[in-house]
Structure 1
């Protein structure tokens, strides 16, 4: 709650391997969840989270420290084969 940058950061560059983020509550963060979308990143499932008051998006893909996508929670297709983003409550 009240995290200035990210409620949760998943992976850094290609260092993302088999992560599941489910059932979390994130309130009042700069960005709810950021996840690595660089080439070589492993799989991640981001589902069934409650994300409330995230100023810059609920779930956003990043290339290291730079945002690389829009809000992935607003679509069923992330455009990244290694990511599953579904059923998050925003």
Structure 2
């Protein structure tokens, strides 16, 4: 599944990297929505849906640690994915 998460990786590395705080997530999502075209917003939404469907939280935890520099437990990961998915504008 890692190969299919390129936009999620981009979001972690460029928008929600280690310098960002969790309380800034809503603002960061708004920045992503305004700074990226619809194609990339739809790609991220699709990748987030895949993450939720697969429910491989150990793999996602490692992916987020590697590409975002963050350690999240399963509950935090689910919250994070949910917030992203419902904040991304796909139209």
How does the TM-score come out when normalised to structure 1? 0.31
More helix by share: 2
Higher relative contact order (CA 8 A, sep 6+): 2
How does the TM-score come out when normalised to structure 2? 0.30
